[in-house]
Structure 1
Amino acid sequence: MSNGTPGLARHYLRYSTANLLVMMAGLVSFPLLTRLLDNTQYGILGYYETWVLMAVAVAKLGAQHSIQRFYPHGGDEERMRSFATNLFYLPMIGSLALWAFVGAVVIVHGYVTGDGHSPVFWMALVMTPMLVYSSLVETVLRVTEQSRTVMLTRVAWRWLQLALMLGAVLAVQHTAAAAYGGKLLAVVVGMAFYFGWARRNLHFARSRMDAAELRQSFAYGMPLVATEILAVALVSVDRIMLKNLSGDFAVVGIYSVGAALAMQVHMFMNLTVFESFTPAANRVFTTDGAAAVRALKRTMLMPMTYAAIGVAILLWTLGTDLIIALSGAGKAQSGPVFELMGAMNAILPVMLVCGFGLVLERRTKTVLALMCLAVAVNAALNWFWIPAYGVMGAAYATLVSSAVSSLAACVMVDRSLRQFPDAKTLTTVVFAAIAALLGGWVTVQLSLRPGWQRMLVGGMLIGMPYLLVLLALDGRLRAMLYPKLRAVERRIGEGAVG
């Protein structure tokens, strides 16, 4: 990887563009699927998607982490063959063996008991090894810094999946099975591309099989597999417990609608930040130490805090209107779920940056323990709050468990790496938030029509005062934005002249 900032900025731009375009596909599919599928069918879709995420996390056997850690940068052809054989193909063979064993157990169990499974289950089972293979190839692409290829394939695959899922629902049947059939077809197409790339670039050699290298891979990757599984469980446990405690897929559907849209906020606010921040933090920590990491955090936290709080206020006050605008009044029950979880996903990256550093200190067991804590808190609160508060109980549990683990990371990270937003940023954002909430109060008094009207008018009444107060009180923000605005103005002027 290039040590210069331009290379990092280029990769950030590509990954952020890819995430934005993938998010746009989600914003297109969300209103269409929620209108075409009733709550029960949408709940089935979300339920099995949860189990696929868990299955893929387990079936990768930690290979993706080992690929990132042990990729032989600058290695000769023989070293590359050894890498491909021991860290890509052999773990993939192990994953296929595990998948075949599980599939055989399911088939035998069904034959003995007479219990069948839905078509969605079988499609999810078939899809799992293909998703594992595609994920490992994409990991190789990322670690070799082929961000252009990652961007193009990620975006093309997501939009193809959207087209095939909607096409199947419209042409065949308004059911989760039809939607999943379209998704399965998209996965087949995507895997075929990745298979062709791997065949050209990753070569298996029986003579290069090395048990020691394979053991090293598993020893490094498997603890991180546990963390990844728990991360998926943290996202998934709400849907599973809603289904088990209520016995109603419609309830899962109501939750899934709000949570799915909130996940788009997570993708844009969280994933894009950490795809660029984590490599930079690792490099700075290695070359310049903890103080340089804190300086990097200070630079990021000012604009991050302003953006996160502003987005959180908008989602908290107008989230239901966005649900109505995208999916219709019939999905309004999902609005409060989205308001809470969307606002949480907007603010969470700030807390994660503040407490980032445990992985720099190689305290991966502490990271695993914190993830265990989050899942345990989430499950315990779901057990009590879902019967008491219904769908919102699951949302409250997610909020509290995420806050507990994030704050715990801030407390447990070494003081030399801990960094919170400075006093000026916090003071400024409090005044800006007050102005935004006053704009929200005015929006309520206007008695606007729910949906697009209240969202657009309210967005202006909330967003404009918030931004104006920030610009008025913080000269650092003005200094940051002014050159960019001047550059845009100059380009517009050059375009007009041309």
Structure 2
Amino acid sequence: MKDGKNLIKNTTIYALGDIVPRILGFISFPILTRYLSPADYGIVNYVSTLTTFLLAFGFLCINTYYLVFYYRCKDSIEQKKLLGNLSSFVILFNFFLVVLSLLFGKSLFSLLGSKISFFPYILIGVLTNFFSIFGVLPSALYRLLEKPLLLTLLTISKGLLILILTLVLVIYYDYSAIGVLYANLLVNFIYAFIFIYISRNYIIWNLDFNKIKEALYFSLPLLPGSLAYYITTISDRVLIDRFLSLADLGIFSTAVTLALILNIFSYGAYKAFEPYLFKNWGSHGFLKIFESIRNAFIYVLLIGVLCLSVFSKEFFQIMSGAKFREAYLYVPLIIIGVYSSSISMLYGTVITAKGKTKINSLVSIVGATISISLNITLLPILGLLSAAIVSSLALTVELCILMWYSKLEVNHKKPLFSVIIVGLSTCFLVYFLRIDHILISIIVKFFSIIVVIIALSKVLGINPFKIVDKLTEKTI
């Protein structure tokens, strides 16, 4: 019972550390869309997306090796050497990437047809990535030590500092896109030293190439799948930069920002039920447990899909500058992919529990292939509509493969019917309902959503007042 309570407490703290920075980042959204042009916002989102990709590539999945082999060390000295060895290699490797960027980055991005200047925008992203890598292994260490509070406080304070510095540079100093990028670079530079400091008692700096070779042998097979996931989700913005305008990139990026709010809810819920699924895997009643959790998860996600999509027009009217308001047209299309990606986490967990981890990587590669090939073909013809549809199509195909491969004998009719209800309701309320008065529009849509939620409750057999219990029941 005590271990269960500690699990719930730690999971909650970790979830806060993941969710609060995302919320803080979103708080700046209405301000940035009033002070930045669509082109400026597109640059910021492009560089931020590139930084995320570089972080995944720059770590070569070595953090997974660290998590697996930490407890296989003979003693604390060996554990400290493991952290020091991996940290030394990752820092040197990413320093090498920075040097390569300085030498060949401008030519590479010109070859890709990017409209964004390498100096200073892309270079700032590369440097931001370099300093952000200092926090990855110490973060993994504190998870292993089951000390989530300090890690969460650091994560939240970092997000808060980025928000404050961004607003100061953009509003007070009128630095536009470069101000946002400078804020991220400076804060990551500061926190690199903070992470070095907090891990000082748990690390012995060294460089053992035999151990590095062993780590790479373990981690490199994981890299293609990891990168493929990011390619699926970011290739649209890279190709928009190539085939369309920076203003188009900014409008699409704002639509993505709103749609990704659903990830805040889905990731928080996932953190709650993930350990419970692993704990009950193989038990007699697992299918019933899985179906109950899945239906509750789908219920929460579909309500999020409905609210974010239906009120997207009013959101942009109230919260953004006039140049960004057409972004609402793309939110319902993009959020399909966010929903599919969220449900994929559920089925991916089951496949991981089966020990079939390679399939997750293969599925991500399939999604990346679909995303890139279709976007290259359709973007010049359909414009932003193509980017929104293709991204969701790729992620939905991934979900279908994972559902098929998991081979779980559970009822899929109720979730499918629920998706159809929400899809048709969203389509009507967003694209066909025309009410010019914003207050009346909000009221009509609000009561329409209530009716749809009641229908969802009936179809999925869920009491909305007990939804939290369903997602976390029996965790202890």
Specify the TM-score bucket, using the shorter chain as the normaliser. Answer: 0.7 to 0.9
Equivalent pair of 1:315/1:343 in contact (CA under 8 Å): no
Instruction: Write the distance in 2 (CA, Å) between the matches of 1:274 and 1:395.
Output: 25
2:433 to 432, 439, 444: 444
Structure 2 residue aligned with 1:274:
270
Pairwise CA RMSD of aligned residues?
A: 3.4
**Inter-CA distance 337–483: structure 2 relative to 1 (3 Å threshold):** closer
Alignment of 1:418-497 (within 5 A): 418=408, 420=410, 429=418, 433=422, 440=429, 444=433, 447-450=435-438, 453=439, 456-469=442-455, 477=463, 480=466
The equivalent residue for 1:374 is 367
Change (3 A) 1:282 1:253: same
1:249 aligns with 246
Is residue 218 from structure 1 mapped to residue 219 from structure 2 by the alignment?
Answer: no
Q: Which amino acid aligns with 2:402?
A: A
**Contact (CA 8 Å) 2:41, 2:177: kept in 1 or not?**
yes
Structure 2 distance, partners of 1:430, 1:401, is: 17
Whether the 8 Å CA contact 1:297–1:354 is kept in 2: the answer is no
Verify the 8 A CA contact 1:45 1:180 in the aligned structure 2: yes
Is residue 21–residue 156 contact of structure 2 (8 Å, CA) maintained in 1? yes
1:315 aligns with 2:308: yes
Structure 2 residues without counterparts, runs of 5 or longer: 110-115, 471-476
The equivalent of 1:338 in structure 2 is 331
Q: Decide whether aligned partners of structure 1 residues 140 and 14 sit closer, same or farther in structure 2, where only a CA change above 3 A counts.
A: same
C-alpha distance in structure 2 between counterparts of 1:274 and 1:164, whole Å: 31
Aligned match for 1:227, one of 225, 228, 233:
225
User: For 1:27-66, what aligned pairs fall within 5 Å after superposition?
Assistant: 27-66=26-65
- The aligned runs of 1:332-411 (5 Å cut-off) are 332-354=325-347, 356-411=349-404
In structure 1, the partner of 2:4 is 5
Between the two proteins, the alignment pairs up a number of residues equal to 464
Deviation sequence 1:107-159 (CA, Å, 0-9, x none): 8999xxxx984222232222221111122222222233322223212211112
C-alpha contact 1:31 1:326 (8 A) present in aligned 2: yes
Task: Work out which structure has the larger RCO, using CA pairs closer than 8 Å and 6 or more positions apart in sequence.
Answer: 2
Give the direction of change, closer, same or farther, for the CA distance of 1:42–1:475 in structure 2 (3 Å limit): closer
Unaligned residue ranges in structure 1 (runs of 5+): 485-498
Q: By how many angstroms is 1:191 displaced? A: 1.8
Alpha-carbon spacing, 1:296–1:97, altered in 2? closer, same or farther (3 Å): farther
SS of the counterpart of 1:203?
A: coil
Whole-Å Cα distance in 2 between the matches of residues 223 and 97 of structure 1? 21
Residue 496 of structure 1 is matched in structure 2 by: none
Q: Tell me, yes or no, if the aligned pair for 1:309 and 1:433 is still in contact at 8 Å.
A: yes
Superposition deviation, residue 463 in structure 1? 3.2
Instruction: Provide the residue aligned with 1:175 in structure 2.
Output: 176
Larger Rg belongs to:
1
Task: Give TM-score scaled by structure 1 length.
Answer: 0.82
TM-score normalised to the size of structure 2? 0.86
Percent identity reads 16
2:185 aligned with 1:184: yes
Deviation at 1:105, TM superposition (A): 4.5
Q: Which moved more, 1:138-147 or 1:67-76?
A: 67-76
| Deviation (angstroms), 1:291 | 5.2
Q: 1:100 aligned to 2:102?
A: no
Residues in 1 aligned to 2:274 and 2:150: alpha-carbon distance in whole angstroms? 21
Q: Given residue 170 of structure 1, which amino acid in structure 2 is its aligned partner?
A: I
- SS of equivalent residue, structure 1 residue 362: coil
